[in-house]
Chains A and B, each alone.
Chain A
């Protein structure tokens, strides 16, 4: 059932994105999301597309891996494109009028924009965070970025600790689930036949032991952590300290400029830019 679950998606490497400070990467991610979602005019969309391509190129992640990460989304992508293509009601003459199907020029434009936007979101986030940031870097970065909230008593350290422990226990619990499934199968449990309701019911003998064991593990882990002097985040030091170099700030600044540029370009059409160029020269 759970044969091929790889843990995390991190691909160790030494590309520019791997070396960028994870905190800066998180900030860049936020800007990137704004940038992709806001880009609406052709020129802005083109810019955002170019930036996505740049990120992918600079991440050093193999093309095959990218394709693999998009594969499960093909249906969603196709569906959005088709909806946009057929159901956008544009002005002027339709490009095609064939029975109940009418396609307007605007529909084609919307479909392409939407497709590119979704693809950019998926690929950009993957190369910025999932593929190039180790889980520990990620939780550390989140803790660091949210640390101002500690002042208003938000348990930021505890939250980050919980996240990293959850990540650590995913493979353990997967292994355990497989063991329980085998054990139940050995007792003639049947998980593969019957209707949906029956199959869901068959999962109960897996979930209950899994839950019980997870609680027991949590108790033991709490004892072990206490034994190792864990006392909350206060006064804790770190083996690995995040360092941001000038290059990281430069990267952040460049993306900020790009985001602002997209906001401006959104309000200008291509013809206006051509006119502007003509006026200058």
Chain B
């Protein structure tokens, strides 16, 4: 059984408004690393909130580890298993002091003090913010706040974390670090990661990419598959990673090169081989 399973999900914020999410069937396996792409307002954040049970579908159902998100009695279990990091760190920090904030989730779980301490220290170390333990949260920079928000989620030790544009406020270095942290969580601790992003270079790191448009899933596959269909992505106002675009343009110019190349080194090797081959002919 998949960890998250959506069956025929539809959602609208109020009955007389248009549906924001339409007819979504989706399975996310345990331990996978999934990226969700789509342009502004296509319903990514709404889907994320549905997937972790903050919102419940108006039609269809969502199962998290077998528990229906519409079932009030299981909501605490669901919360514990599936966490979410939001875009704006300012609105998700609860306490004035860093370690108090990170301790918020384990405190809510009613864990003993030693265990809370252990989890807080572990979570802060994971995001490399141990030295800021006793700082005031309002004095941190945007990126540092976001790391604390991630640490706050880690301290809950959920099985799945959904990141809703969690890197949007970070500088390139900060973004790289957070993406590295996500990868590490996924590969080392085995946490299921779902990340929503507008940065194609981040999406490339995932095992699977889901592309949304107007509340529907229009493509679902590995990065290689998704970024091979350049026209399709461009038709929903999405870009492809620069490397994939280069290969695509060369192909359009009549050079028989493969599509869906994602990494610069891979592209360089292919191009080298191609140019050498062309010379020899």
Contacts and interface: CB of A to CB of B under 8 A. Distances in A.
Interface of A: 7, 134-136, 164-165, 167-168, 171-172, 217, 220-221, 223-231, 235-241
A226 B79 contact: yes
Contacts of B107: 236-239
A229 B156 contact: yes
A9 B203 CA distance: 46
B79 A168 contact: no
B95 A164 contact: yes
Interface in B100-115: 100, 103-113
Contacts of A230: 104, 108
Contacts of B52: 227
B120 interface: yes
Contact of A168 (B76, B96, B116, B153): B96
Contact of A227 (B79, B88, B120, B136): B79
Contacts of A237: 106-107, 110-113, 116
Contact of A231 (B76, B84, B113): B76
A7 B139 CA distance: 11
A239 B110 CA distance: 10
Contacts of B153: 227-228
B97 interface: yes
Shortest 6 CB-CB contacts between residues of A and residues of B: A224-B92, A171-B138, A220-B91, A239-B103, A228-B105, A229-B108
B88 A168 contact: no
B50 interface: no
B80 interface: yes
A221 B94 contact: yes
Nearest to A213: B91
Given A136-B100, A225-B104, A226-B54, 18 more contacts: A7-B136, A167-B96, A168-B93, A221-B94, A224-B92, A227-B83, A227-B84, A228-B94, A228-B105, A229-B76, A229-B80, A236-B110, A237-B106, A237-B107, A237-B110, A238-B113, A239-B106, A239-B113
A224 B79 contact: no
Given A7-B138, A136-B97, A237-B113, A224 B108 contact: no
B113 A220 contact: no
Among A235, A238, A239, max chain B CB count under 10 A is at A239
A14 B279 CA distance: 78
Interface of B: 49, 52, 54, 76, 79-80, 83-84, 86, 88, 90-97, 99-100, 103-113, 116-117, 120, 136-138, 149, 152-153, 156
A223 B86 contact: yes
12 contacts: A164-B95, A167-B96, A220-B91, A227-B52, A227-B79, A228-B105, A228-B156, A229-B109, A236-B107, A237-B111, A237-B112, A239-B99
Contacts of A168: 93-96, 137-138
Contact of B94 (A165, A223, A231, A240): A165
Contacts of A224: 84, 86, 91-92, 94, 149
Nearest to A161: B94
B116 A239 contact: yes
A226 B76 CA distance: 9
A228 B109 CA distance: 9
Among B54, B90, B120, B137, max chain A CB count under 10 A is at B90
Contacts of B76: 229, 231
B99 A221 contact: no
B108 A228 contact: yes
A172 B137 CA distance: 10
B62 to A, nearest CB: 15
Among B107, B109, B156, max chain A CB count under 10 A is at B107
Contacts of B116: 237, 239
Contact of A172 (B80, B84, B90, B109): B90
B110 A220 contact: no
B54 A220 contact: no
A227 B91 CA distance: 13
Nearest to A223: B54
A235 B110 CA distance: 6
A251 B90 CA distance: 40
B48 to A, nearest CB: 11
